Structure 1
Amino acid sequence: MKPLRVALDGPAGAGKSTVAKQAAKALGLTYVDTGAMYRAITWKALQEKINPTDEAALTELSNRVQISFKLTPAGQDVFLDGVDITEAIRTPEVTGNVSAVSAVAGVREAMVKLQQDIAAQTGVLMDGRDIGTVVLPDADVKIWLTASVEERAQRRYNELVAKGQTLDFEQLKADIERRDRFDSGREHSPMKMAEDAVVLDTTGLSIQQVIEKILEICSSADAQKL
């Protein structure tokens, strides 16, 4: 039996990474945070003073660098050319530019190839915006994870405040709404729910409740493969 491949998609702040790490561990799957890949490219572009709209430079950058992950008790560390950038890619500056960078066709092509190469080697739980529609259209399980804008903003706010960052809640909420519009309207691999995805609205649910629902969906799909 082929190892399970799970596509977990949804808008910014829906809590995908938080629940995906734990769900993947429970399922014995490799967790792949595709959003971290785009954040890594964005971080490197900012370091090299590359304009987030310079498609040629961003495409060249995406094909030049090496992105890797390392699982830890706390989750997953992200490395770019051997440098740990786990915390660096979560800054407001990276967040404010990642949608523009990830919309570049050359960047997406490079990252999608990397994501598909990983999925070809092992069972995965992969989260992002276009996993079920572009990266793994034949995934065994497709889940669309969502929540209200208010709740998504509150979760992101709590997460960043806990890390010592100072920010305005209303501005954060507006940024999330802007990202939704940008990600859904981009020309290349827009954020879109797969027609055969299971919708999981996490508004009002605890992290553990969401994980349990994901495991239920995956268990059902796994049983159908037997």
Structure 2
Amino acid sequence: MSVVAIDGPSGVGKSSTAKEVARRLGFQYLDTGAMYRAMAWLCLNRGVTDPVDVLEQVRGADLEISLSPDEFFVSVDDIDVTEDIRGADVSANVQTVSGVVDAREELIDMQRTYIAAAPEGIVVEGRDITTVVAPDADVRILMTARDEVRVARRAKEVHGNADAEAIAATQDLVTGRDAKDSATTSFLEAADGVYTLDTSDIDFDQVVETVLQLVKDSQ
């Protein structure tokens, strides 16, 4: 069983790359960020912000996440939140969960369980996969891109374009979350043994082919 771990900040193309690599290899796909978002959605909807209460929500929630790159979904207590967790309000409140150490450990344990149960292989993407969740993964990659490139990509994703207004509306969402998450997770610089893949000036197919070659070289 092979594990491909991909980390990186917002807007570098982690999700699209990880899904396509999983498809090509016939592997499962795990979006760990969606797990944090789902729990942030739950806490936001229940008005929970206190760390003790956040931990209680995480421990008590029935969180289900698809491991298919083609039929992805996330549900919390039998409620499909696949679309809801991508909202700006959830993005702005992910730190409510990710910043609580014990809640983070609960989710990391779940992630490791998914990884261990993968029958053939799994591509896992997030912000602490190469260093914390799966430091012994067969392939460990840190995807990066210049800040202006990342913001433009996320603006297109959220607003449908990357004009000046969309860029301004997206700037804090991207860089602000990076600043918050970097307080608890190291994902802006590659750890020893982690391959740095800068996606600023290469297209999607080139990114995917680079990852596939790294997987091939590891076998």
Amino acid at match of 1:77: F
Amino acid at match of 2:136: D
- CA distance in 1 between partners of 2:70 and 2:170 (Å): 25
Partner of 1:111: 107
- CA distance in 1 between partners of 2:176 and 2:129 (Å): 21
Partner of 1:134: 132
- Asked if the contact 1:142/1:194 (under 8 Å) is kept, the reply is no
User: What do the CA deviations read for 1:80-124 (whole angstroms, capped 9, x no partner)?
Assistant: 122211100000000111134211112111100000001111121
Amino acid at match of 1:193: A
Do structure 1's residue 210 and structure 2's residue 207 form an aligned pair? Answer: yes
Cα RMSD (Å):
1.8
Q: Per the alignment, in what secondary structure is the counterpart of residue 118 of structure 1? A: helix
Do structure 1's residue 7 and structure 2's residue 5 form an aligned pair? Answer: yes
Partner of 2:72: 76
Partner of 1:176: 174
Amino acid at match of 1:5: V
Distance 1:50 1:135, change over 3 A: same
Unaligned runs of 5+ in 2: none
Q: Per the alignment, in what secondary structure is the counterpart of residue 203 of structure 1? A: coil
User: How much does 1:151 deviate?
Assistant: 0.9
User: What do the CA deviations read for 1:143-181 (whole angstroms, capped 9, x no partner)?
Assistant: 000111111111111111249xxx742231233122222
- CA distance in 2 between partners of 1:83 and 1:207 (Å): 33
| Aligned residue pair count | 213
User: How much does 1:72 deviate?
Assistant: 6.2
Please point out which of 75, 81, 86 is paired with 1:85. 81
- CA distance in 1 between partners of 2:173 and 2:216 (Å): 36
- Asked if the contact 2:138/2:218 (under 8 Å) is kept, the reply is yes
User: How much does 1:71 deviate?
Assistant: 5.6
Partner of 2:19: 21
User: How much does 1:35 deviate?
Assistant: 0.2
Do structure 1's residue 55 and structure 2's residue 55 form an aligned pair? Answer: no
User: How much does 1:210 deviate?
Assistant: 0.9
Partner of 1:102: 98
- CA distance in 1 between partners of 2:83 and 2:14 (Å): 17
TM value normalised by structure 2? 0.91
Q: Per the alignment, in what secondary structure is the counterpart of residue 50 of structure 1? A: coil
User: How much does 1:8 deviate?
Assistant: 0.2
- Asked if the contact 1:13/1:152 (under 8 Å) is kept, the reply is yes
Distance 1:10 1:72, change over 3 A: closer
- Asked if the contact 1:8/1:144 (under 8 Å) is kept, the reply is yes
- CA distance in 1 between partners of 2:149 and 2:27 (Å): 28
Distance 1:64 1:138, change over 3 A: same
Amino acid at match of 2:73: D
- CA distance in 1 between partners of 2:5 and 2:69 (Å): 23
User: How much does 1:185 deviate?
Assistant: 2.0
User: What do the CA deviations read for 1:54-88 (whole angstroms, capped 9, x no partner)?
Assistant: 11011111111122223667551111122211100
- Asked if the contact 2:20/2:69 (under 8 Å) is kept, the reply is no
